A and B are shown apart, each in its own frame.
Chain A
Amino acid sequence: MAVTRFTTRSYPQDLRIFPSPAARISLVLLGALLLTFPLFMGTYGVFVACICGVSIISALGLNLLTGCTGLMSMGHAAFMGIGAYTAAILAARTGLPLIATLPLAGLAAALAGLIVGVPALRLKGLYLIVTTLAFQFIVEHVIYHWESLTQSDKGIALPSPDLFGFPLNSYQSYYYVILALAVAAAVFTKNLLMSRTGRAFVAIRDRDIAAEIIGIHMAKYKIMSFAISSFMAGVAGALYAYLLHLISPDHFTFNQSILYIAMIIVGGMGTVLGSILGAVFMVLLPEAINAVSGPLVSAYPDLAPRIGGLSVMVYGLIIIFFLLFEPLGLFGIWIRIKRYWKTWPYTY
């Protein structure tokens, strides 16, 4: 699945995060667009953008674990749930500010990641998948049944967040917090992947025994991967909780975990850009489905209680489609387009 590079570059060039001037210019433009986004979009548009941001952070975490280290997790939503509930309980009960609850939420999730990561040292492939699946269901169950702490399906209401005394009571102002953290997460991941640690992750994914033989400390890196991934999921969960103002157990179910897996498949495994594209795509998809299912329901009112099946089905179809026809995901499409323009008009 290697992507061929046509240009020859020196190592310092290759190590740069944004290799060409064109990339830097387009990045500046994108930055300007993202910064001014709330000015020309309505409240709903900004809300959807916030959800995109949260999903990007979470998908980056999962992609680091699954796409880069090759450890598949079906419990990503559970880590998000742990982060979200940590933040919600701390904010609602002790009144801690956003600046304190976010890292604490991340740490709580990372701690859970360590606990799952330790058995993962001995487990591989399917055994690991089922273990993370078990973790997902156990967390779901605990959230639902530990009523004194989580208020079960009544949910926990969060106070409006504020940052250094500046209230973030609108989606517009909160958007910038999420944007900043999403950018930070993306830059962090990109940097990590180019570092020694990131390359160790990829070596473990490609051949774990060979990686161990060339001197990569397997236990250390596997657990590190789990911890970083779940830290990001925890922060994303906390951001999500503040965004919704009210969280309940059904925000962090098994189906959510599958949604995140779908994101990294659709986007492209093991790439930062892929995680971003996939997350945005899968968040916007329900909007597109709603555009279809809305008129459908008004035409056939009998369908109303069943229409939820449509989105589940479309998710499945999209996963299958990408795996069969575009295994590199949206990232692969992006690379192809880029190459086409780079070599145009000498396409061959």
Chain B
Amino acid sequence: MASNILIQLTITGLAWGSVYACIALGFVLIFKATDIFNFAQPELMMLGAYLTFAFITVLKLPFIWAFLAALVLMALITALLEMLVVRPLVGEPVLSVIMVTLGLANVIRGMTGLVWGYEEYQFPAPFPKDPLTIFGVAINQAEIYTIVATVILLVGFFLFFKYSQSGISMRATAEDTSAAFLMGINVKGVFTASWVIASLVATVAGVFMASLTYLDPIMSHTGLKALPALILGGLDSVHGAILGGLIIGVAENLAGFYLADYLGSGINEITAYVLVLIIMMIRPYGLFGTKEIERV
């Protein structure tokens, strides 16, 4: 029976880890292409989930159409934000740029609070409610869908970056912005595209996170755990972000069950942060990040 619990916890952890990985992926995308660290990523995730929810409940759209409508709207919103708020600050000190995204995060969080309030909503997820039993292990179906969808998404991204024209130009911009500019790549377009793609990934993550729990503004706080995931993997590494997300998802679920007796309940809420503190002391550039060589 003990192994059943372990498997169950691991699967739940993997599902949450996939959500973290999706958010972290958004961070990495923007960071690699534009050197900007977007602190509003968890808020974008929350906004995506709320928009989907609004399309379902207010316009009575079926889930899949509501989801697509939310994706389109999110793409428009972030493209606009990128052009109006973030682009004027490209090339400014890291601090200013981070602060601006922090400001953006506050604006989105405040707006969601004003429009939808602070109560929990049951998210009308399309996944079957009854758990699936495989070999005596009961598994929430939403978790399986989350894991599968994330895998498909990540493979899609991998192919996009590896083979498509836009993917290659995005990688080129990430590598060396001015060289990419000289080669005739539309760098501004790439900047906007990276924000748009990141917001789409965030929306997917948001919908899954809302399906796993509830829809409420605390989501953005939970989404912040993608940061430790990201740092754990190394800031500039895509597979690091994914692996970091999975590690944190599994670790916090296991810690929440096995360590709660010793360290008090709620230990799962900070497992991610404790883990990242420890890793930072051992490897200051993350597990897979490149060690930067600085010149004066």
Closest A residue to B234 by beta carbon equals: A127
Chain B 25-64, CB within 8 Å of chain A: the 1/0 string? 0000000000001000000000000000000000000000
Contacts of A137 in B (CB 8 A): 269-270, 273
Q: Check A310 for interface membership: any CB of B closer than 8 A.
A: yes
Contacts of B108 in A (CB 8 A): 316
**B285 to A127, Cβ gap below 8 A?**
yes
Question: In terms of DSSP, what is the predominant structure of the interface of chain A?
Answer: helix
Q: Check B174 for interface membership: any CB of A closer than 8 A.
A: no
**B118 to A127, Cβ gap below 8 A?**
no
Contacts of A207 in B (CB 8 A): 296
Closest B residue to A306 by beta carbon equals: B117
Contacts of A130 in B (CB 8 A): 227-228, 230-231, 276, 280
Contacts of B113 in A (CB 8 A): 306, 308-309, 312-313
Chain B 110-127, CB within 8 Å of chain A: the 1/0 string? 111111111100000000
**B235 to A126, Cβ gap below 8 A?**
yes
Q: Check B103 for interface membership: any CB of A closer than 8 A.
A: yes
Contacts of B110 in A (CB 8 A): 309-316
Closest B residue to A315 by beta carbon equals: B106
Closest B residue to A122 by beta carbon equals: B284
A126 to B221, CA, bound (A): 18
Chain B 270-284, CB within 8 Å of chain A: the 1/0 string? 101110110011001
A317 to B104, CA, bound (A): 7
- Interchain nearest-CB distance for B219 vs A (Å): 14
Contacts of B103 in A (CB 8 A): 262, 315-320, 323
Contacts of A327 in B (CB 8 A): 92, 96
Chain A 268-308, CB within 8 Å of chain B: the 1/0 string? 01000000000000000000000000000000000101111
Contacts of A313 in B (CB 8 A): 106-107, 109-111, 113-114
Using known A-B contacts A308-B118, A313-B107, determine if residue A320 contacts B100 with beta carbons closer than 8 Å: yes
Closest B residue to A254 by beta carbon equals: B221
Contacts of A144 in B (CB 8 A): 266
A72 to B101, CA, bound (A): 15
**A320 to B107, Cβ gap below 8 A?**
yes
Contacts of A154 in B (CB 8 A): none
- Interchain nearest-CB distance for A124 vs B (Å): 8
**B107 to A324, Cβ gap below 8 A?**
no
**A306 to B231, Cβ gap below 8 A?**
no
**A319 to B100, Cβ gap below 8 A?**
yes
- Interchain nearest-CB distance for B119 vs A (Å): 8
Contacts of B272 in A (CB 8 A): 134
A261 to B110, CA, bound (A): 17
**A141 to B270, Cβ gap below 8 A?**
yes
**A138 to B273, Cβ gap below 8 A?**
yes
From A66, A145, A258, A320, B266 is in contact (CB under 8 Å) with A145
Contacts of B155 in A (CB 8 A): none
Contacts of B284 in A (CB 8 A): 119, 122-123, 127
A213 to B294, CA, bound (A): 13
Q: Check A209 for interface membership: any CB of B closer than 8 A.
A: yes
Using known A-B contacts A315-B106, A323-B103, determine if residue A305 contacts B98 with beta carbons closer than 8 Å: no
Closest B residue to A140 by beta carbon equals: B270
Chain A 57-70, CB within 8 Å of chain B: the 1/0 string? 00000000010001
- Interchain nearest-CB distance for B256 vs A (Å): 13
Q: Check B66 for interface membership: any CB of A closer than 8 A.
A: no
**B274 to A138, Cβ gap below 8 A?**
yes
**B88 to A123, Cβ gap below 8 A?**
no
A72 to B119, CA, bound (A): 33
Contacts of B106 in A (CB 8 A): 258, 312-313, 315-317, 319
A318 to B295, CA, bound (A): 35
Q: Check A41 for interface membership: any CB of B closer than 8 A.
A: no
Using known A-B contacts A126-B37, A126-B235, A308-B113, determine if residue A133 contacts B280 with beta carbons closer than 8 Å: no
Contacts of B115 in A (CB 8 A): 306, 309
A306 to B265, CA, bound (A): 30
A306 to B274, CA, bound (A): 33
A313 to B110, CA, bound (A): 4
**A324 to B274, Cβ gap below 8 A?**
no
**A134 to B105, Cβ gap below 8 A?**
no
Please provide the chain B residues from 224 to 252 with a CB less than 8 Å away from any CB of chain A in the complex.
224, 227-228, 230-231, 235
Contacts of A316 in B (CB 8 A): 102-110
Closest B residue to A66 by beta carbon equals: B95
**A320 to B96, Cβ gap below 8 A?**
no
Q: Check A135 for interface membership: any CB of B closer than 8 A.
A: yes
A11 to B47, CA, bound (A): 55
**B277 to A134, Cβ gap below 8 A?**
yes
Question: Measuring CB to CB, which residues of chain A are less than 8 angstroms from any residue of chain B?
Answer: 66, 70, 72, 119, 122-123, 125-127, 129-131, 133-135, 137-138, 141, 144-145, 207, 209-210, 213, 254, 258, 261-262, 265, 269, 303, 305-320, 323-324, 327
Query: Known pairs A134-B228, A313-B109. 7 more at Cβ < 8 A?
Result: A127-B285, A130-B276, A133-B273, A135-B277, A306-B117, A309-B111, A315-B103
Pull 25 A–B residue pairs with CB atoms less than 8 Å apart, ordered by A: A66-B95, A127-B231, A127-B284, A130-B276, A134-B276, A134-B277, A137-B273, A138-B274, A141-B270, A209-B294, A254-B221, A262-B103, A269-B95, A303-B114, A306-B113, A309-B109, A309-B112, A309-B115, A312-B113, A316-B105, A316-B108, A317-B106, A320-B107, A324-B85, A324-B100
Interface pairs A-B: 7 shortest CB-CB:
A309-B113, A313-B110, A316-B106, A319-B103, A312-B110, A316-B107, A134-B273
